[in-house]
Structure 1
Amino acid sequence: MSLGDAALEREVLSLFLAQSAKLIEALSTLPRDGRELAHKLKGSARAIGAFAVADAAARLEHALMSGAEAAEPLLVLTEAVARARNAIEAILGEPSNPN
Structure 2
Amino acid sequence: MSALKIAFETPENPANSSAAGRPPIDFAQLSKQTMGDKDLEIEVLQLFARLARQTMAEINDAGTDACGQSAHRLKGAALAVGATRVARAAAAIEQRPGDWTLRAALGAAVLEAELFILKLCR
The interval holding the TM-score normalised by the smaller chain is 0.7 to 0.9
Q: Distance in 1 between matches of 2:77 and 2:96?
A: 19
The correspondence for 2:115, drawn from 63, 86, 92, is 86
- Corresponding letter in the other structure for 1:92: C
Report the CA distance between 1:30 and its aligned residue: 3.1
- Corresponding letter in the other structure for 1:82: L
| Aligned-residue RMSD, C-alpha | 1.1
- Map 1:1-99; keep pairs closer than 5 Å: 1-31=33-63, 32-64=65-97, 69-93=98-122
Q: Distance in 1 between matches of 2:61 and 2:104?
A: 12
What 5-or-longer segments of structure 1 have no aligned partner?
Answer: 94-99
SS for the counterpart of 1:4 is coil
Bigger CA radius of gyration? 2
TM-score, normalization: structure 1?
Answer: 0.85
What 5-or-longer segments of structure 2 have no aligned partner?
Answer: 1-32
Q: Deviations over 1:30-89 (max 9, x none)?
A: 33411110000001111111100000000011002xxxx410000000000000001111
| Identical pairs, percent | 33
TM-score, normalization: structure 2?
Answer: 0.69
Runs of 4+ in 1 over 3 A off after TM superposition: none
